[in-house]
Structure 1
Amino acid sequence: MGHDHAHHHHHHSHNRLGITFLLNIVITVAQVIGGVISGSLALISDAIHNLSDGVAVLLAYIADRLGHREKTAKHSFGYKRAEILAAFINSLVLIAISFYLMIEAVDRFANPQEVDFKWMLGLGFLGFVANGFSVFLLHDDHDSNLNVKAAYLHLLGDALTSLAVIVGAVFIWAWGWTWIDPLVTLLISIYLLVHTYQLLKESTEILMQFAPSSIDPDVVKQKLEGVAGVKQVYHIHIWRLTDHSIHFEAHVELNADLQLSQTRSIDEAMNEVLHHDFNITHVTLQFEYSCQNGGKGC
């Protein structure tokens, strides 16, 4: 029953990502055409933003499919890291686009051009409605993993930037302030840059197998060494396979030379600490005993 529910949920998630991707492509084509005709850099920047998010959603869709493939002997972790890789690639592309748009906006300040506000207004509104609908579609799944969350947040950003284009068009219509167009572009670019930095940082940390920032290895070591029967814990490794899956491995030196069956209670106690206090999902412990203790059998 639980498996059927999960499969049903994943199927809906795939469908929503697919619909969102198609919407983004339609908006992008319309805004590029409108931006060229109207001369609006803000509209073109919003179109590029939409295109990048369309690619992000496509990557999210592919990675989501790969992430739910069955494990094999060769691929013992499955393809779960495809989602992190997609988030990493997406963030790099967005940062590159942000810098490009900033350069274009500065150039437009120096060389202002006439802008047709009607195209800006109409296509900005189209982008706002379509992106708002995409955000609504992905809202229920946006906390499921880093990959879908990235796509969701980018689409939310798209809706806000489309709103900025609408506001810019109104200002040009009312007062003829064409400099509003590159200003909106600059604001969209800065928003994109700030918004993407955290995604790049988190996905890089996972790919580099850094310990999660929320977990202090020294605190973990201290708590584990407080378990009865444990002398010391060393060779500690903590890393994230995905944004939700934290792995832990370590060598555990015991106070006594115990048989393997006698280490079960210590193993369970240490697992409980790791699961309960640090939300670590996968644990590998290697028990040892040093003859330097002068124990029996040495």
Structure 2
Amino acid sequence: MDNTKDGRRRVAIAALLTFSFMIAEVIGGLISGSLALLADAAHMLTDAGSLALAWLGFKLAERPASEERTFGWARFKVLAAFVNGLTLIALAGWIIFEAIGRLLDPQPIMGSLMLGVAIGGLVVNILAFYVLHGGDKDDLNMQGALWHVAGDLLGSIAAIGAAIIIVFTGWTMADPILSVLVALIIAVGGINLVRKTGHILIEGVPPGLDLKAIRTDLSTQIEGVKRVTHLHAWALNEHKSLITLDVYVDGGTCLEDTRVAVKKRLLDEFGLDHATVEVLRDQKTS
């Protein structure tokens, strides 16, 4: 099974697990009158939607290229991961906002019911995290899905800790305080994901590629090359980098042989298998 199909299957399973427990959490919240459980259910609904978006990213990435979309839908996975990163940041902000409200105006919490539901949530989130963690670690879309489930998992751990404190001490402030700590962790993951995907979407140079080193290498290692200009590199997604460049050669050099040599050098030394190379006579040396 290829990475895209495997990732889609894993995300679908995680989404179903998250959505199923969300329904149970809503029922528990309504019966107990617990705002904390209903708020966490809203959190899980957001995550289920984000996992569904990640699934759509994998599904569209399977579509072949066409005359209208020569690279197919490969970049949609990056876009889905970018949106999920923004969602993580927004979710962290919402949790902090709610926590501040509860610190200023403490609400009664049924600790025993909260503990039971939180333990159930932890089990479900561990299963979902295990399913996703077996996928492609370098896939940004999978990273977005993982961070959402990790946020839920950390939320469940924090809820269990808060519930235990509430049951044995009655100190309800533990709930919002631990929630803020989880929110900060989620925010870090969201910011990191937005930074990585945003760099791809604005067509920044792929990490690990040094354009200056490429220019120097081609100019010194390939016979006849005088200079390299109009060098641009960007990424279609986290796995595929592309590059375009103009290569100027002296008057006695074969243009086609140089083009082949440049493409081979780019592949062998820098792992670039999609290069557009134009070879020109250097008028300065003609």
* TM-score of the aligned structures, taking structure 2 as reference length: 0.91
1:28 aligns with 2:13: no
Q: Distance in 2 between matches of 1:220 and 1:99?
A: 42
Match in the other structure for 1:246: 241
Q: Distance in 1 between matches of 2:125 and 2:66?
A: 38
1:292 aligns with 2:284: yes
Residues 81, 12 of structure 1: alpha-carbon distance in 2 compared, 3 angstrom cutoff: closer
1:263 aligns with 2:258: yes
Match in the other structure for 1:136: 130
Residues 69, 144 of structure 1: alpha-carbon distance in 2 compared, 3 angstrom cutoff: farther
1:198 aligns with 2:198: no
Q: Which one is further off, 144-153 or 115-124?
A: 144-153
Q: Distance in 1 between matches of 2:272 and 2:254?
A: 26
Asked whether the 8 Å contact 1:209–1:240 carries over to 2, the reply is yes
Q: Which amino acid aligns with 1:244?
A: H
Match in the other structure for 1:283: 275
Runs of 4+ in 1 over 4 A off after TM superposition: 9-12
Q: Distance in 1 between matches of 2:114 and 2:148?
A: 21
Match in the other structure for 1:237: 232
- Uncovered stretches (5+) of structure 1, i.e. residues with no partner: none
Q: CA deviation at 1:180?
A: 0.3
Q: CA deviation at 1:164?
A: 1.3
Q: Distance in 2 between matches of 1:29 and 1:120?
A: 15
Q: Distance in 2 between matches of 1:192 and 1:44?
A: 19
Counting aligned pairs with the same residue, the percent is 30
Q: Distance in 1 between matches of 2:189 and 2:38?
A: 19
1:121 aligns with 2:115: yes
Residues 243, 72 of structure 1: alpha-carbon distance in 2 compared, 3 angstrom cutoff: same
Deviation digits for residues 189-244 of structure 1 (CA, Å, limit 9, x no counterpart) = 11111111000011111110011233232222222222222111111111010011
Match in the other structure for 2:75: 81
Q: Which amino acid aligns with 1:113?
A: Q
Asked whether the 8 Å contact 1:40–1:116 carries over to 2, the reply is no
Q: Which amino acid aligns with 2:183?
A: S
Q: Distance in 2 between matches of 1:33 and 1:190?
A: 28
Q: Distance in 2 between matches of 1:188 and 1:135?
A: 16
Q: CA deviation at 1:134?
A: 1.1
Q: Which amino acid aligns with 1:252?
A: V
Residues 107, 261 of structure 1: alpha-carbon distance in 2 compared, 3 angstrom cutoff: closer
SS class of match (2:284):
helix
Q: Distance in 2 between matches of 1:136 and 1:162?
A: 15
Match in the other structure for 2:149: 155
Q: What RMSD in Å do the two structures reach over aligned CA positions?
A: 2.1
Match in the other structure for 2:49: 55
Q: Distance in 2 between matches of 1:197 and 1:10?
A: 24
Q: CA deviation at 1:39?
A: 3.2
* TM-score of the aligned structures, taking structure 1 as reference length: 0.87
Aligned counterpart in structure 2 of residue 105 of structure 1, from 96, 99, 110: 99
Q: Which amino acid aligns with 2:83?
A: I
- Uncovered stretches (5+) of structure 2, i.e. residues with no partner: none
Aligned counterpart in structure 2 of residue 211 of structure 1, from 205, 209, 215: 205
1:14 aligns with 2:8: yes
Aligned residue pair count: 284
Asked whether the 8 Å contact 1:253–1:289 carries over to 2, the reply is yes
Asked whether the 8 Å contact 2:19–2:45 carries over to 1, the reply is yes
Asked whether the 8 Å contact 2:248–2:281 carries over to 1, the reply is yes
